[in-house]
Chain A
Amino acid sequence: MQPRAAVKRPSIRVSDGQREAVSGLVLVLPALLVLCVLYIYPLCASIAGSFVSDEGIGLHNFAKAFTLYGTDILFTIGITIITLVLVFVVAVLTASFLRFRNWPFLNFVYRLPLFIPYLIAGHTMRVFLAPHGILNILISRVTGLSDLPGLAFSWIGLVITFVWKQFPLATLLILGAFQSVEDSYIEASLNLGGNKVRAVWEILLPICRPTVLVAMVLTFVSTIGCLTIPLLIGPSKPVMLPIDMAFRINYMGDWGVANALGVISYLIVIALSMYYLSYTVKKEDA
């Protein structure tokens, strides 16, 4: 019996901190090894490979990438930002509504696209938004108009598909954060004469900033890196960067420029995350 020892040690921690760290690392090691060999190594290879071309080591691949795919880079950034803004608006609206009002129907239904894989979302929208697709059939039935343009294979179809597929995850995360904010905060704001819109903008969103940030970064990254949706529903010109990368590899065998495009997409992700971080930090200071 050693009851005193149990009181002394609030958790089952080995007294020797270093020994604990070592045994902990041993337990993490298999997972870490898998990650290093299968992820970190190819990630580093992609960065290193972007500097290697037939002309030697240097920025040739980047120069080539910018001259060949400058429009596509801008197009990718544009589509991603539009998607991000729309996902933010839809997710915050849905989450706010569900925070204030319990509507089981909406709470269940909005999650559906989350469980539809990207590939299926692309195919589904290809059928739905095609010139002779379901949406146009319905519109022409109701309005009597014919010869409607198809939204598929245009940037609008691309954005619709991205938003449809991605708002549920953002909503799920933001709603979870909203629900963890106590009612008393919101009531206080409402009692001071604010309305619900102000309660969301001035109370809920600032408190839940870290979660909103995570939701937005996840949306941003999965939009900019997605190959399937642009392949299935995007316009043929300009295209998103992943299509250019796949093209460089599959048809040209040009790893250098493909890697340069990859590094450019890393840089876009890092830049936008940093901007978003500094923007939200500044807002908190103000």
Chain B
Amino acid sequence: MQNVTKSKWWQTMILKTIAMVLIGFIVFGPLMGTLLWSFAEKWFWPAAFPQELGLKYWKIAFTGQSPVLDSMAISITIALIVVVLATLISVPAGYALARFNLPWKRILLVLFLMPQAFPQLPVFINMTSIFYRYDLVGTVPGVIAVHLVISLVYSVWITTAAFKSIPVTLEEAARNLGASRLRVFFRITLPLATPGLIASSIFVFITSFDEFTGTFFIGAPFIQTLPTLMYTASMGYNMQYASVIAILLTIPALLFMLVLEKFLKAEYISGLGV
């Protein structure tokens, strides 16, 4: 009897290991290639591993002549401004959508989803032609405007869900004690919604930091963000250099993936329910 369970236990362990290796390869395999390339100084076919490993291309990326640091500074600046702007306009909107008896509430929420739920490219190219008239093409404000409109859905939806998840009774209690609506908002509602606002900021930051297509049309050729720089390198078969930038672009997203678990509560996701 014991032997049977033991052999079964072995079988499941072996199966599980095979499954883990397979799943791991499917998910991590492609990324391993990029990671290896970023450290490869020489890698000729058909070697399974680079002949020479080193930090050469990382050093090149981080020394004065390369545009990587400048691009990174521009990318981070743009992303931070987009986060601030998106939060400023989404907090009142989210509060109203969560608490007020608004007409066409659903239509409004779907409208904010539109930029992510409908093909973006035709909009970007027409935005470019409109922005030409106002000299916004190739400028930082122009790029900020594109990033803002496509990240708006995350900030509006997540703030709405965050405000919805706060029990109305808490606000009522404060109101009954004589606090004004504004005071209640700043002293009770906003502090309680902070995790939601952080989650929304993270989404907005990542969306802006990694945005390529809009930047490619609106920002070109003067605004070189990290994604557009990586694209140029990859298209030019500059694999090592492109891989270094690719990793730089992925790190924040991966870090935030770990942080986000903490802030993106299940209530918010259910609150997003369409």
Q: Quick one: given A140-B46, A221-B119, A258-B122, are A27 and B270 in contact (CB under 8 Å)? A: no
A123 touches B93 (CB 8 A): no
- Kindly identify which residue among B96, B125, B156, B175 contacts A245, using a CB–CB cutoff of 8 Å: B125
A249 touches B125 (CB 8 A): yes
A217 touches B172 (CB 8 A): no
Residues of A within 8 A of B257 (CB): 111-112, 114-115
Residue of B nearest to A261 (CB): B122
At the interface, yes or no: B64 with Cβ under 8 Å from chain A? no
Residue of A nearest to B257 (CB): A115
B108 touches A141 (CB 8 A): no
Please provide the chain B residues from 4 to 33 with a CB less than 8 Å away from any CB of chain A in the complex: 20, 23-24, 26-33
B23 touches A117 (CB 8 A): no
Scoring A residues 39 to 55 as 1 if CB is less than 8 Å from chain B, else 0, what string do you get?
11111011001000000
At the interface, yes or no: B60 with Cβ under 8 Å from chain A? no
Chain A nearest CB from B260 CB (Å) reads: 9
B24 touches A109 (CB 8 A): yes
- Taken together as a complex, chains A and B put the C-alpha atoms of A27 and B97 apart, in Å, by 9
B121 touches A227 (CB 8 A): yes
A43 touches B123 (CB 8 A): yes
Residue of B nearest to A255 (CB): B129
- Taken together as a complex, chains A and B put the C-alpha atoms of A127 and B213 apart, in Å, by 21
At the interface, yes or no: B120 with Cβ under 8 Å from chain A? yes
Q: Which of A109, A120, A138, A269 has the most CB of B within 10 A?
A: A120
At the interface, yes or no: B242 with Cβ under 8 Å from chain A? yes
Additional A-B contacts beyond A119-B212, A146-B46, A227-B216 (8; CB < 8 A): A31-B89, A43-B118, A134-B30, A134-B32, A164-B26, A218-B117, A262-B121, A263-B122
Listed in ascending order, the chain B residues whose CB lies under 8 Å from chain A are 20, 23-24, 26-34, 36-37, 45-48, 88-90, 92-93, 95-97, 99-103, 108, 111-112, 114-130, 145-146, 148-149, 152, 156, 168, 171-172, 175-176, 181, 184, 206, 210, 212-213, 216-217, 227, 230-231, 234-235, 239, 242-243, 246, 249-250, 253-254, 256-257, 269-270, 273-274
Listed in ascending order, the chain A residues whose CB lies under 8 Å from chain B are 2-3, 6, 11-13, 17, 20-21, 23-25, 27-28, 30-32, 34-35, 38-43, 45-46, 49, 105-106, 109-128, 132-135, 137-138, 140-141, 146, 164, 176, 180, 210-211, 214, 217-218, 221, 224-225, 227-228, 231-232, 242, 245-246, 249, 255, 258-259, 261-263, 265-266, 269
List the 10 closest A-B pairs by CB distance, nearest first. Answer: A262-B122, A24-B100, A225-B119, A117-B210, A27-B96, A27-B92, A42-B126, A31-B93, A134-B33, A38-B149
Q: Would you list 29 pairs from A and B whose C-beta atoms are within 8 A, ordered by A residue?
A: A3-B176, A12-B175, A12-B181, A27-B92, A27-B100, A28-B93, A28-B102, A31-B112, A31-B152, A110-B27, A112-B254, A117-B212, A117-B250, A119-B249, A120-B210, A120-B249, A123-B230, A137-B47, A164-B30, A180-B270, A221-B116, A225-B120, A227-B212, A231-B235, A232-B234, A232-B235, A249-B217, A265-B122, A269-B118
